[in-house]
Structure 1
Amino acid sequence: MKKHIPNFITLLNVFCGCVATMFAVMNRLELAALFVALGIFFDFFDGLAARVLDVKSELGLQLDSLADMITSGLVPGIVMFQLLAMAQTSGWGNGSHFFMEAGEFQYDHLIPFLGFIITMASAYRLAKFNIDENQTSSFIGLPTPANALLILSLPLILLYQNNDFLNSIILNQWFLIFLTLVSAYLLNANLPLFALKFKNTSFKDNAMRYIFLIISFVLIVTMKFMAIPLIILFYVVSSVIQERL
């Protein structure tokens, strides 16, 4: 019975990804972000449950990647599509929701479809991860959940921080295209990144992890959703520094 517990948690990630997909298509990006965050929560705990229960399996590995493909691969691509579509039109309106409603966007622009480069890059990364035996204690390239949080942070910054300067940057199509390409590159770059897996509580053995978590907490408290892109940037930079020490 216990061998099915991690897989059930992974299926909850699938469910969250499906719900997030529906909200992203409906252009309710704040709700899409909520269910992506919930899916990533389940993605973390399915692996933890498998280790605690000692029931790791090949099926669980494959199922985990399939779940990530929905929650952290498909949804960010749709969200980037919506952001690029908004950048082609009026973009931002009054109130707590985006100006465009679902179905209002006319598909006579090709640029928004560039957002699905993120989905394709995520699929390629997840396929590589499944056959790579070197990514047990660290990652090669940006993990798809981290990338999903990066992309999903953009509509949250627009909605809840509503800074004219930030809005003008985020709804600039060239910035979004640049971010899409950088995102796709980081997902598959030959770049060693540390994993947040603590084998013990020693500060000496986990100094970078502790520092990363403390700084991330401070950034979130002080900068709210704007902290997410900065945390991802700090994660990449600190990993590079750790690798060279």
Structure 2
Amino acid sequence: MENHYYRSFLRWKLQQYLSDAGFLALNDLESKYGIKCPKLSKLRELRKAYSEWIPLRTTTWGSYMHVKHAITLLTEINPEILDNLKDKHTLHFRLCQDGTWFGRYLNCIVSALGWVDAGEHSQNAFSLIPLSYVSVTKENRDNVEQALTTEFINMFKPGQVMEIRGVEYNILFSYSADYKMVAQVMGLAGPCSDHFCNWCRTKKLKLSGMRKLVYENGFGNNVAFCITDKLQKHSYKSYDDKDKAAEEENIKNYDQVIL
């Protein structure tokens, strides 16, 4: 307890939120190469060199790196996984996208690349490579289609082959996003579902006895949902099917909310 040297290191570890595994990995690197941890200035110089080696492509709405540079980074970070896949000659990556906002007015679409072959424990946010950041005035189909340029989309075309460490690999891409993001990127005809609409839990084969459930959302608009007769008895006031004018107005408001 009186050893100031050990106490200082423990305090530093706690202040920097460094895990036990991370501290052990640092000790292992020092033992492996027989030197102390290099100065931060050296690591910054190396990081700067990598940043210059990976050029960013700038557009009117933001910037992105080429997906092949992201693949190179992922495979360099996990060389042992790449060694185990040499015989398969296929690498599987996933494009992750989601919309978010900063403050009240800055809406943006963030894209990142993950490596499926790295396993389930390597799919968290810290294991992804940031791929692109684009800003949009409002998150809808037209703005997303404009901000995600054709050049960016074409980076993920199927049938690509990439040479890594002297070995050729077939590159397979999959897409990961919530249903709203998929609909905005691909259009309403892009995603397929057994359900009648984005919010229905009832499948298309069980559409008998469906009614419209209407309620006023936080924006003051009436929103129509599909709901079964069984649930209707325990829910909000239902539409009067005879009131055609009210039904048409509600559907119009519903479309405005979705679009």
Which structure features the higher share of helix residues? 1
TM-score using structure 1 length = 0.21
* Max Rg structure: 2
TM-score using structure 2 length = 0.20
Q: Which has the higher contact order (CA 8 A, sep 6+)?
A: 1
Which structure features the higher share of strand residues? 2
